[in-house]
Amino acid sequence: MTLHHLDCCTMCPLGRRFINNQQHLVGHVLALETAAGDVVLVDTGIGTLAMAEPQRLMGRQFTTVFRPNRDPARTALRQLEALGHAPADVRHIVLTHLDIDHAGGLRDFPTATVHVSARELAAVRDRGTFNERQRYRPILWEDGTQWAPFGNEADGVDWFGFTGTRLLPDMADELIAIPFSGHTRGHTAFAIRDGDRWLLHTGDAYFHTGTVHPHLGPPSRYLRIFERGVAVNRRAVKENHVRLTELAAGHPDVTVFCAHDPVEFARLRAGQQI
Ligand SMILES: [Zn+2]
């Protein structure tokens, strides 16, 4: 398996100078190329349609606050084409959650099977809270999307003390979904085997690398307030921070990273450790 780190949602949010001098946020997508030539995507970033019609597809609030870059060359579709892939090569997409900046590229891959937790799909269906009514944009995916919900803990597997779910028979020992509810109801992290190491893509389980890797400095107060403000369960978010910090400190063979931190993205893209 060959692994690519792609930034498929570069954002320059309002007030970004308060985010520890980080001038932008990334949308960290993983593209896993299998030996058979297929591709598995972990998240999609935002896609070509959303970039072409940002206000209709992503909404005025998201585009005004987060100000995503709209260069189509940054989409997963175009970056995979540059790697020699057709859209139909993407057989599976696994999603940390269904926020715009993670699921906004689904319509570029209409033949893919889309794996997302059953709890996250239920959150979109129920829209039980103000938070959930505001955040989801079902217009970003096709009516005919081939959803493959997961979340049956009966077939759980132990991964460094976390209970996860194997999603794809062909990658049973290489890709494990681990529930991390908090940012959203059905938020999920994905463990990916990379040789003799593991990567853990934690989506939006945290926003600044210093939250989990303290040697890189603490997140700003502004970012911590933002993180609490967008979470459906703040206590769970705090608990997740503790669990992830312990995991990263105790297991040097596991690389823990999040979706939006540009420092983590730059280091992993360059083949370095965090
Ligand atoms: Zn996000």
Report the separation in Å between the CA atom of 20 and the middle of ligand 1, taken as the mean of its atom positions: 18
pLDDT at 220: 85
Share in percent of the chain as helix, strand, coil (round to 5): 40, 25, 40
How many folded domains does the chain comprise? 1
Per-residue pLDDT of 3-39, as tens digits, reads 999 999 999 888 766 665 567 899 999 999 998 899 9
Report the separation in Å between the CA atom of 36 and the middle of ligand 1, taken as the mean of its atom positions: 30
Report yes or no on 204 lying in a domain: yes
User: Are 147 and 138 spatial neighbours (Cβ–Cβ below 8 Å)?
Assistant: no
Per-residue pLDDT of 63-76, as tens digits, reads 998 999 999 999 99
Report the separation in Å between the CA atom of 208 and the middle of ligand 1, taken as the mean of its atom positions: 12
pLDDT at 194: 94
pLDDT at 22: 63
Residue 22's domain is classified under what CATH number? 3.60.15.10
User: Are 159 and 256 spatial neighbours (Cβ–Cβ below 8 Å)?
Assistant: no
pLDDT at 222: 84
| Strand pairing class (162-166; 113-117) | unpaired
Residue 200: band (very low, low, confident or very high) from pLDDT cuts 50, 70, 90: very high
Report yes or no on 156 lying in a domain: yes
Report the separation in Å between the CA atom of 136 and the middle of ligand 1, taken as the mean of its atom positions: 12
Helix (H, G, I), strand (E, B) or coil at 192: strand
Report the separation in Å between the CA atom of 97 and the middle of ligand 1, taken as the mean of its atom positions: 9
Closest residue by Cα to residue 123 from 48, 231, 31: 231
Report the separation in Å between the CA atom of 81 and the middle of ligand 1, taken as the mean of its atom positions: 24
Report the separation in Å between the CA atom of 191 and the middle of ligand 1, taken as the mean of its atom positions: 18
Does residue 154 surpass a pLDDT of 70?
Answer: no
- Domain assignment of residue 261, given as a range: 2-269
Report yes or no on 181 lying in a domain: yes
Q: What is the DSSP letter of 68?
A: B
pLDDT at 153: 62
Q: Exposed (0-12), middle (13-18) or buried (19+): which is 34, by Cβ within 10 Å? A: middle
Per-residue pLDDT of 79-131, as tens digits, reads 999 999 999 999 999 999 999 999 999 999 999 999 999 999 999 999 888 89
Report yes or no on 265 lying in a domain: yes
pLDDT at 128: 83
Report the separation in Å between the CA atom of 135 and the middle of ligand 1, taken as the mean of its atom positions: 11
pLDDT at 19: 65
d(CA 100, CA 190): 19
Helix intervals (H) in the chain: 48-52, 54-58, 60-66, 76-82, 100-103, 118-126, 130-135, 221-230, 234-250, 262-269
d(CA 214, CA 113): 37
Q: What percent of the chain has pLDDT over 90?
A: 82
Report yes or no on 218 lying in a domain: yes
Report yes or no on 274 lying in a domain: no
Per-residue pLDDT of 233-244, as tens digits, reads 999 999 999 999
Report yes or no on 263 lying in a domain: yes
Report yes or no on 220 lying in a domain: yes
